[in-house]
């Protein structure tokens, strides 16, 4: 899938990607291009000006007032744009449409790093919560902007990590509902974390009741602390036909 050209630089083998997409289509499924909705994997030289970035309202992904940044050890690996920023929306829409057109993908599986309270550049030093917002507040408007900018022919979904933002996403034109469920996520069942079969079922039922759609779940059944064994001793088995979510790295500078 990847060719190594210049040392330290990953280059996507586009021929292999297209062959994989073709194989997916032959199987009767759709191929979704994976990319985060607001990440730039070149934090020292981001694609857009600093005014487009999201800034931490609290110490979270870095210090308060600094750009929201994901760090491994002492090395910053990604900075994040505000999904509501129009300049970012136009930029990422152009990149994604170009990639999907060239590779033959059917849509975009938009990933997130999880929620965070942020501000825009102008209010980055404010202590007034009214000047801030949750990243998830922008999910619906971001999806709708992508539908307008990229076109209705492409499917789109956003990973609402651990669920819980169904009401915010109610007016989003996303084609499917996708959640990664982790052990740090609260269950639909009050007073619990989502670590057992009943929690998974409750989440799926809630999404169905609210949206009329089936939930696609990145459930990570081998994750320590999760046991989706069905009461009665049987292991949960799901047989569905769902889109193939093709995950590849750094097709463009902000891909992850």
Confidence (pLDDT) at 13: 84
Decide if pLDDT at 240 tops 70: no
Share of the chain above pLDDT 90, in %: 65
| pLDDT value for 123 | 97
Q: If phi over 0 gives left and psi between -120 and 50 gives alpha, with beta otherwise, what is residue 155? A: beta
Give dist(CA 114, CA 124) in Å, integer.
20
Burial of 47 per CB tally in 10 Å (0-12, 13-18, 19+): middle
List phi, psi (to 5°) of 103: -95, -15
Whether the per-residue pLDDT at 144 is higher than 70: the answer is: yes
Neighbours of 107 (CB within 10 A): 22
- Tell me if residue 112 falls in helix, strand or coil: coil
Q: Which helix (H) or strand (E) holds 134?
A: strand 133-134
SS3 call for 196: strand
Q: Which residues contact 127 (CB under 8 A, 6 or more apart)?
A: none
Model pLDDT, residue 10: 65
pLDDT in tens, 112-132: 988 999 999 999 999 999 999
Tokens of residue 95, six digits: 């990149």
- What is the overall mean pLDDT for the chain? 86
The residue-averaged pLDDT of 79-90 equals 95
189 pLDDT band, cuts 50/70/90, is very high
Check pLDDT > 50 for residue 195.
yes
> Alpha-carbon distance 236 to 218, whole Å?
14
pLDDT above 50 for 34: yes
Provide the pLDDT confidence category of residue 217 given band limits of 50, 70 and 90. confident
Tokens of 80: 């994040």
Give the whole-angstrom CA distance, residue 191 versus residue 206.
Answer: 16
């Amino acid at each position: 899938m990847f060719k190594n050209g210049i040392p330290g630089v990953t280059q996507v083998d586009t021929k292999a990607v297209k062959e994989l997409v073709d194989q997916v289509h032959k199987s009767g499924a759709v191929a979704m291009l994976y990319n985060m909705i607001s990440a730039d994997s070149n934090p020292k030289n981001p694609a857009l000006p600093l005014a487009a970035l999201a800034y931490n309202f609290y110490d979270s992904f870095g210090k308060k007032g600094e750009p929201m940044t994901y760090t491994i050890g002492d090395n910053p690996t990604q900075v994040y744009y505000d999904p509501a920023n129009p300049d970012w929306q136009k930029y990422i829409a152009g990149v994604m449409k170009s990639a999907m057109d060239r590779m033959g993908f059917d849509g975009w599986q938009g990933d997130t790093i999880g929620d965070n309270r942020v501000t825009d550049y102008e209010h980055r030093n404010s202590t007034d919560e009214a000047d801030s917002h949750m990243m998830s507040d922008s999910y619906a408007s971001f999806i709708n902007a992508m539908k307008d900018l990229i076109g209705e022919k492409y499917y789109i979904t956003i990973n609402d990590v651990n669920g819980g933002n169904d009401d915010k996403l109610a007016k989003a034109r996303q084609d499917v509902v996708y959640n990664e469920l982790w052990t740090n996520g609260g269950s639909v069942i009050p007073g619990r974390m989502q670590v057992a079969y009943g929690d998974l079922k409750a989440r799926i039922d809630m999404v169905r009741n609210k949206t009329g759609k089936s939930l696609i779940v990145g459930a990570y059944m081998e994750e320590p602390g999760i046991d989706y064994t069905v009461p009665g001793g049987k292991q949960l088995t799901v047989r569905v036909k769902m889109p193939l979510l093709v995950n590849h790295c750094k097709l463009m500078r902000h891909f992850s």
